Structure formats: structure tokens, C-alpha cells
A and B are shown apart, each in its own frame.
Chain A
Amino acid sequence: MEMVELVCPAAEVRERRWERALGLPTLEGRRAALLSNGKWNADALLGELAALLQRRHGVEVSLRLTKQRYNHELGPDAREEVLAAADFALVAIGD
């Protein structure tokens, strides 16, 4: 049987081990950053979630960042702002 050698055109990948972010032991009284992509449905979900967390766990929304454009990155300083102002961050997807 005639054989051919094919060159893989797809991405070459390697297994790598990642450590997940450390979780908070409790949400009680924590500060949340809301990261909005500026889309209506996503913002609705984000707002509802924030309200729910406030009612159930006393979570305070300490920071709200909105993308200038929803298909762009949030901005170079966003990470530092979140680290300084909040204990955790929330994002939402809704189109």
C-alpha cells in the first residue's frame, strides 16, 4: 500500500500544568469588582448577580470597570485597580 507522510497544519500543543487561583474561604462582607463588557444582557446579568451577592452575603461592589469597547481588552491598569480595590472580580457573558 502506498503511504504518504502528512505534515500537521494545526497548532502543536504541549501539556502544561497550571495552578488555579486561590479561592476565598467565604464571601461574607467581601468587596467585589464588576467588570463590564458594556453589553446590555451581560450587564443585566452582572447587576443581578451583584444584587444577589449583596443580599445573601453582604458583598459590597467596590469597583466597576467598563470596557471602552466590548471587543477590546479592559485596559492595562485594570488588574492593578482590581487588586487594590476588591477581593474578587465578577464578569458576565450575555449577547
Chain B
Amino acid sequence: MGGATAPVAAGGRGVTVPTAERATRRREPAGRAIEVCYELGWTDGLPVVPPEASAVEAMLGGRDPLEVVGVVPPLGGVATMEKLAANAVMAGCLPEHLAIVVAAVRAVCAPEFNLAGLQATTHVAAPLIIVSGPIVERLGLNPGYGTLGPGNRGNAAIGRALALVLWNLGGARPGLTDMSTFGQPGKYVFCMAERQEINPWPPHHVRRGFAPGDSVVTVMGCEAPKSIVATNLDLAILRTAAEMMATLGSANVHLMGEMLLVLGNQHARTLAAAGWTPESIQRHLFATARRRVAELREVRTYSEEVWRRNWPGFVTMDDSSTVPIVERPEDIRIVVAGGDAGRFSLCAGGWGAGGRSVAVAVEGEGSSGNGDG
């Protein structure tokens, strides 16, 4: 850098930086352990199972406690296996759940997921865990009625474990580092499973390049899911879904990103019977879930410069041009889940093009370990 006079020296200062060391331990009265977790800021408001050393050791099950799974932004806490085990204990996980938690942490720590942005954004998005493959049945996860609701220890504890990792290692603090204007319930627990037994098509993870026998965790930063009620006619389902996806208040039409479509059993069966496939559904929704440029100009949520940077090149800036919700049809991610009753599906927008969903194979479950991420 140029300059006619010498720079001014500035004093140094001490800061704390995360390290990958064995976890510190502390002895506390057993009767106060839950309160101690609150006092130390180890929980986000809900009570937790105190992470007793014996339980953490059992959770580890012989894994190397210092194996580093990732670095969790924005704080940059190092996710050693021991730290993940401690958070899994607090969430109520069983030892067999830990591999799913580890895969979820690997997914959110992948650069393309952009967890630093997701943790800090003013947007409402939270990371949603989608578990697919044989492990869903083997561990008794709930892909059916209430897959996103209460009632199943695996769904609840796995989702809770990731939330606690983001809290304890990522340092997500509302109003300080987590600037989400409102937050959302998914920041406590946000985990579902794919219901392959009723899925008329290959599972989500196979369409991402994994082998059918793999068990895979996909994590996507997304808004709270919106209900799609539609009669069981294929074009009615798709028309209704398109309307729900292309709302002016969603970040998608302005910034693109991804869109999650969770098809319920009745809708999936109806669509499959009419000859639809996930790929043809993606193409149809890409073509129909749109807003006109003129409508977006009326609300002026973003500047034209931002739109130009984010919209696909085929969108002209003419008022009559239409804007899709994603850049490419395959960015509409389709999963089949939920109970048998009800003419319902769900959609959940991403958080603009801030990050992309990432899929990671659960170690020791299947063989390929590949996928498109």
C-alpha cells in the first residue's frame, strides 16, 4: 500500500480461539446438573440430559475422541468426536444415533452449505435433516405420520443434537451472532425421514448419486415448511404446489437457491399413477412456479442489480418475462414422506442462493459414499 508517512503502530490484544483439544471436565452435584448446563450456557433454553463423562464414553463407543469432523461457524468451534458425543448425550441420542449426527455435522460443515451465512443470516432458515435409506427402518426413525413432529426419539434427538452443536460449537446466539429476525421452531429440532416403503420412485439419495443400499443424511437450509393441500388430481397437485412455491415473500423468486417438495403418500401415488417421475415433476414446476418480472418490480424486495446477479440468464428484464424459483429444475428437491391420510404435501423454500443442500453417507451404512452433495 502507498503512503508518504510511516504507518501508525497499533497495540495487540488477547482473543480466544477454538482449539481441537480434549473436552474439559467439571465435577458438579448430581442434583444440580441440569441447572449447571443452563448456567454454563450449554443449552438453548430447553432442558438437556447432563453430559456425564460415562454417558459420553458410551456414546463414543470406542471412536477416537479427538477425530475432527468439522469446524462449526461462526464461532469456529472444533467438532471433535468427543464434542459431538457430548452434544448427542444432551439431546437424548442413543449411541446408534451418533453416526447420523456425525454425517449431519459433516454436511453442514461442507463449504457449499455455507453454515457461516446460515447461522448469521436475518432470514428465517434453519438446517433441516432428511434421513433416507435402510437406516430409517433399522433405527426405527419415523418417516410417516408426524415425521416432522413429536413422538419419535430418533427424529427428535438427532435433530436436537445438531441444534445443540450449532449452539455450543457454532456459537449461534440470537441477536449477537444469529441475526435471524424471528428464528423458527426448526432451530430447536428439524429432522425428518424419507418413507421409502410407499415411495413410487427411487429414494432421494439415489437421485443424488448414492447407491440404493446407502443410508444418507441430507441437510438443507430452509424455511419452515408450508402445507400444500390439493385434491388428488395430478395437475391440481402440481398447480397448487407451484402457487405455494412462487410466493412473492419467498427468497426463491428473488435469489434462487433450492426448493424442497415433500410429497405425501396420496399425492405421490396420484402423480406416479399419472406417469409423473421426480424429474418430470421438477421440469414442470420449474416451468410453472414463476412470477412475472412486473410483479417483482411492484414489490421491489431487491434491486435490479441483485436480480441480474441471481436470476438465470434466460430471464430478460422485460416486465412480461417470468422468473423461476430455482436456477435449474434439479434444484427442486423431492422427498416422499408422511402418513397415508390427508391430501397434503409440503414445500419449504431455501434461503436464497446462500448455500446448497449437502448429502453425506452415514459411515458404516452401505458402500458407495458417493453423491452429488
Residue ranges of A at the interface with B (Cβ–Cβ < 8 Å): 1-26, 30-31, 38, 40, 68-72, 83, 86-88, 95
Contact = CB atoms under 8 A, between A and B. Distances in A.
Interface of B: 1-3, 5-31, 33, 36-37, 40-42, 50-54, 56, 72, 75-78, 82-83, 85-87, 89-90, 114, 117, 121-122, 164, 168-169, 171, 179, 255, 302-303, 305-306, 309-310, 352-355
Contacts of B5: 25-26
Contact of A69 (B8, B30, B75, B310): B310
Contacts of B77: 10-12
A38 B305 contact: yes
A22 B90 contact: no
Contacts of A13: 16-19
A12 to B, nearest CB: 5
Contacts of B19: 12-14
A3 B28 contact: yes
B7 A22 contact: yes
Given A2-B30, A22-B10, A9 B42 contact: yes
A11 to B, nearest CB: 3
B1 A83 contact: yes
Contact of B16 (A4, A14, A38): A14
9 contacts: A6-B26, A7-B25, A7-B52, A7-B86, A9-B164, A10-B41, A11-B72, A31-B2, A40-B303
Contacts of B14: 15-18
A6 B255 CA distance: 44
B123 to A, nearest CB: 9
A7 B90 CA distance: 10
Contacts of A17: 12-15
A11 B171 contact: yes
Interface-central residue, A2, A5, A8, A12, by most chain B CB under 10 Å: A12
Nearest to B351: A71
Given A4-B30, A5-B26, A18-B12, A24 B114 contact: no
Nearest to B33: A4
A23 B10 contact: yes
A11 B168 contact: yes
B168 A6 contact: no
B8 A9 contact: no
A55 to B, nearest CB: 21
Contacts of A83: 1
Contact of A11 (B22, B75, B121, B306): B75
Contacts of B12: 17-20
A22 to B, nearest CB: 4
Q: Return the 5 tightest CB-CB contacts between A and B, nearest first.
A: A11-B77, A71-B117, A22-B7, A9-B86, A20-B10
A26 B171 CA distance: 37
A31 B121 CA distance: 31
B354 A7 contact: no
A8 B87 CA distance: 9
Contacts of B40: 8, 10
Given A12-B78, A13-B18, A71-B354, A7 B8 contact: no
B169 A11 contact: yes
Nearest to B27: A3
Nearest to B72: A11
A11 B78 contact: yes
Contact of B15 (A15, A68, A72, A86): A15
Contacts of A71: 114, 117, 121, 352, 354-355
Contact of B1 (A14, A16, A87): A87
A91 B24 CA distance: 38
A6 B36 contact: yes
A2 to B, nearest CB: 4
Nearest to A38: B306
A16 to B, nearest CB: 5
A15 to B, nearest CB: 5
Nearest to B50: A6
